[in-house]
């Protein structure tokens, strides 16, 4: 999950959410750059999209996608992340309670009863966001990155 602060309202918002998924072809990692799968999570509903992965063939980078986990054949597309409302509400409340935070990438582990923050990154990677939507298509993100002179 990546959160930003709206430069106009000063309120935090969820810019992007994704699910990293390891498999035998990326073990022991789940990173997209190492062949791991990544799926978009709908920020409002917590519904997971098809996954995408990077595959290099004959020196050319291909982006592949699928609905099922390549090892287990369990369907990934359409699952709902448990406790999604709680995750969103608590992360946004934490951002509001700590107004100096304006750009954080959250590594979150969903547990049986709730969730745990594994780490909060002050400079998260944005490349996987672009797999699913141009990140500057969100006007709040555009304004944020422009205010930081990133664009």
| pLDDT tens digit sequence for 53-111 | 998 889 898 999 999 999 999 999 999 999 999 999 999 999 999 999 999 999 999 99
* Beta sheet of 103-110, edge-to-edge order: 12-16, 2-5, 103-110, 115-121
pLDDT at 34: 81
3-state secondary structure of 32: helix
Per-residue pLDDT at 83: 98
Within the chain, where are the H helices?
A: 84-97, 139-147
CB 122 within 8 A of CB 104: yes
The residue range of the domain holding 118 is 2-145
- Alpha helices for 83-138 (secondary structure H): 84-97
Please give the tally of structural domains in the chain.
Answer: 1
Can you tell me the distance from the alpha carbon of 81 to that of 4, in angstroms, rounded to the nearest whole number? 21
Q: Is residue 151 part of a domain?
A: no
How much is the pLDDT for 130? 87
Mean pLDDT along residues 118-128 = 90
Buried b / exposed e over 107-124, threshold 16 CB at 10 Å, is: ebebeeeebeeeebeeeb
Q: Is residue 80 part of a domain?
A: yes
Q: What single-letter DSSP state applies at residue 122?
A: S
What rounded mean pLDDT belongs to the chain?
94
Residue 79 lies inside a defined structural domain of this protein: yes
For residue 38, being part of any structural domain is answered with: yes
47, part of any domain: yes
| Confidence grade of residue 29 (pLDDT, cut at 50, 70, 90) | confident
**150, part of any domain:** no
Q: Which token pair is 33? A: 């750059």
Give a yes or no: residue 87 inside a domain.
yes
């Amino acid at each position: 999950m990546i959160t930003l602060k709206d430069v106009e309202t000063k309120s935090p918002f969820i810019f992007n959410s994704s699910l990293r998924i390891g498999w035998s072809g990326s073990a022991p990692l789940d990173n997209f750059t190492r062949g791991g799968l990544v799926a978009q999570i709908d920020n409002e509903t917590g519904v997971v999209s098809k996954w995408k992965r990077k595959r290099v063939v004959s020196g050319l980078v291909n982006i592949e996608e699928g609905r099922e986990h390549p090892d287990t054949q369990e369907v990934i597309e359409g699952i709902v992340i448990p406790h999604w409302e709680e995750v969103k509400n608590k992360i946004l409340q934490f951002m509001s309670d700590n107004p100096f935070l304006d750009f954080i990438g959250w590594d979150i582990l969903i547990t049986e009863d709730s969730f745990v923050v594994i780490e909060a990154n002050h400079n998260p990677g944005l490349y996987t966001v672009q797999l699913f939507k141009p990140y500057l298509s969100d006007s709040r993100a555009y304004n944020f990155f422009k205010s930081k002179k990133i664009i």
